[in-house]
Chains A and B, each alone.
Chain A
Amino acid sequence: DGGITQSPKYLFRKEGQNVTLSCEQNLNHDAMYWYRQDPGQGLRLIYYSQIVNDFQKGDIAEGYSVSREKKESFPLTVTSAQKNPTAFYLCASSSTGGDYYEQYFGPGTRLTVT
């Protein structure tokens, strides 16, 4: 089955530690995105990538970093510079063709930093 996987589903870290969230897709999509969602809020864009080896900052990129070495993978690192990292993180992918508007989301990773 085609889809997006994120791991782990729940993640706990201590303050000051960097943590990397995994996102893999087998939909052959060129575009991939990372969003952050806080309770009762919409999704805010962290980073996006339209093609391998290229990515752009979204609205709230400070304290985060990404890489796009393979088409299928777009890992997100939450660094110790992120002031309030506890949140629900969602990865998405989409085609850059005619159905570009339809994003496919993973199940999300809930990160708790104490």
Chain B
Amino acid sequence: LAKTTQPISMDSYEGQEVNITCSHNNIATNDYITWYQQFPSQGPRFIIQGYKTKVTNEVASLFIPADRKSSTLSLPRVSLSDTAVYYCLVGGFSGGSYIPTFGRGTSLIVHP
């Protein structure tokens, strides 16, 4: 299973764009990249998923370079409510079953 590396924490201010980069050097050809958001004492929530280039939804954008060895989650104009932990997951198939692995994630704190 591909290992991911993310910054432990990040700080930002309301209204700014936040970019969180995840490294996954040993990503496999058929691995997808998925991001989750978790608030304290809640279960994670799916944000976005992609394979290559750029994916955008109503919440975030995901940028994946051609070599796919990293990915960047972009949160436009963050607010205080975006303070959360963000997890990057890659691949996860083992023996025909999808078994995602959550690392420690990136703790984002948005300041007023």
Q: Which positions in A face B, CB cutoff 8 Å?
A: 4, 31, 35, 40-45, 48, 50, 56, 58, 88, 90-92, 94, 96, 100-108, 110
Say whether A43 contacts B102, CB under 8 Å: yes
16 extra interchain contacts, Cβ-Cβ under 8 A, other than A4-B43, A103-B36, A107-B43? A31-B97, A40-B104, A42-B102, A42-B105, A43-B44, A43-B102, A45-B99, A45-B101, A50-B97, A90-B44, A92-B43, A101-B100, A102-B34, A102-B49, A105-B45, A107-B42
Q: A-side binding surface: helix, strand, loop or mixed?
A: strand
Question: Are the C-beta atoms of B43 and A90 separated by less than 8 Å?
Answer: yes
What is the interface of chain B mostly: helix, strand, loop, or mixed?
A: loop
Residues in B with CB closer than 8 Å to A35 are 102
Pick the contact of A100 from B36, B98, B103 — CB < 8 Å? B98
Smallest distance from the beta carbon of A69 to chain B beta carbons, Å? 19
Q: Residues of A contacting B63 with CB < 8 Å? A: none
User: A103: which of B41, B42, B44 is its contact (CB, 8 Å)?
Assistant: B44
Q: Quick one: which of B34, B42, B43 has the most chain A CB within 10 A? A: B43
Closest to A9 in B: B41
Q: Determine whether the beta carbon of A108 is less than 8 Å from that of B46.
A: no
Question: Contact between A103 and B46 (Cβ–Cβ < 8 Å)?
Answer: yes
Which B residues lie within 8 Å of A92 (CB)? 43
- Specify which chain B residues have a CB less than 8 angstroms from the CB of A90 in the assembled complex: 43-44
State whether B42 touches A42 (Cβ < 8 A). Answer: no
